[in-house]
């Protein structure tokens, strides 16, 4: 899919652009800004996935209830559940 490209005329902090160029290893200002935007979008997706995972873990933990005294049984049950859900 081709992204929609539009001309933008912005007043930006040159020091920040130079720092970003160095951080992302960009040769041009445009490349630096594109990479920075992509990294931010990826970071947001990662955070959203992490939040969803934590929500699922908490929900699962509430379903399981209090952890049994024998941790090995709890680990075994968790592995069996993971194998049922995701396969081996």
Q: If 0-12 CB within 10 Å is exposed, 13-18 middle and 19+ buried, where does residue 88 land?
A: exposed
Predicted confidence (pLDDT) per residue in 6-48, tens digit: 888 999 999 999 999 999 999 999 999 999 999 999 999 999 9
- pLDDT attached to residue 68: 62
d(CA 74, CA 63): 13
Q: Where are the domains of the chain?
A: 14-86
pTM: 0.63
Q: pLDDT at residue 2 above 70? A: yes
Predicted confidence (pLDDT) per residue in 37-86, tens digit: 999 999 999 999 999 999 998 888 888 777 666 778 778 888 888 888 88
Beta strands in 42-88 (DSSP E): none
């Amino acid at each position: 899919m081709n992204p929609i490209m539009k001309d933008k005329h912005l007043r930006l902090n040159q020091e920040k652009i130079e720092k970003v160029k160095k951080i992302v290893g960009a040769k041009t200002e445009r490349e630096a800004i594109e990479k920075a935007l992509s990294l931010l979008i990826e970071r947001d997706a990662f955070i959203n996935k992490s939040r969803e995972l934590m929500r699922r873990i908490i929900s699962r933990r509430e379903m399981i209830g209090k952890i049994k005294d024998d941790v090995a049984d709890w680990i075994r049950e968790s592995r069996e559940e993971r194998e049922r859900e995701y396969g081996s």
